[in-house]
Amino acid sequence: MANTPVSIPRPLVRTNQWAIVLSVLASWFTGEAWILAIPLLAGAMGLLFGFNPIMRTARHFLKKSPSEYIPEDWEQQQFNQVIAVACLALGLISFLLGWTAAGYVFTAMVALSAFIAILGFCIGCFIRFQLNQYKYRKS
């Protein structure tokens, strides 16, 4: 992946976070667990192929050049996306298997994380920092 971006414009990251929050809320209010597949598939595509259709669509609505926005670290966003995809997948699977409580726990975790990130605190960043500190102290 020689063309791996170094950063992602913040509005694209925020759009992805809002897609997660709104999809989780929509699935809760409608009872349709399949709505979770939208951010799940978009996130998985971003991780596997470097193409997130939600972010790609949002890119068309940027008013300025992508480099003019506050940058978000690409590697950090990939780490966060792994957590989000895992929680969305576990939530969707739980709902489909009838494990409603587990479905709500996993989807609440990812929705709250995304919403808290929108407000300015990145839980995934904190987790990654602590993980890196642990690895550093262990070595």
Instruction: Quick: pLDDT tens for 76-125.
Output: 999 999 999 999 999 999 999 999 999 999 999 999 999 999 999 999 99
pLDDT of residue 6: 85
Q: pTM for this one?
A: 0.93
Q: Is residue 39 part of a domain?
A: yes
Q: How many domains does the chain have?
A: 1
Residues of the domain holding 61:
7-138
Does residue 2 register a pLDDT over 60? Answer: no
Percent of the chain past pLDDT 90, that is, above it, reads 95
Q: Is residue 130 part of a domain?
A: yes
DSSP state letters, 54-87 = HHHHHHTT-SS-GGGSPEEEHHHHHHHHHHHHHH
Compute the radius of gyration of the chain from its Cα atoms: 16
Q: Is residue 60 part of a domain?
A: yes
Percent of the chain past pLDDT 70, that is, above it, reads 96
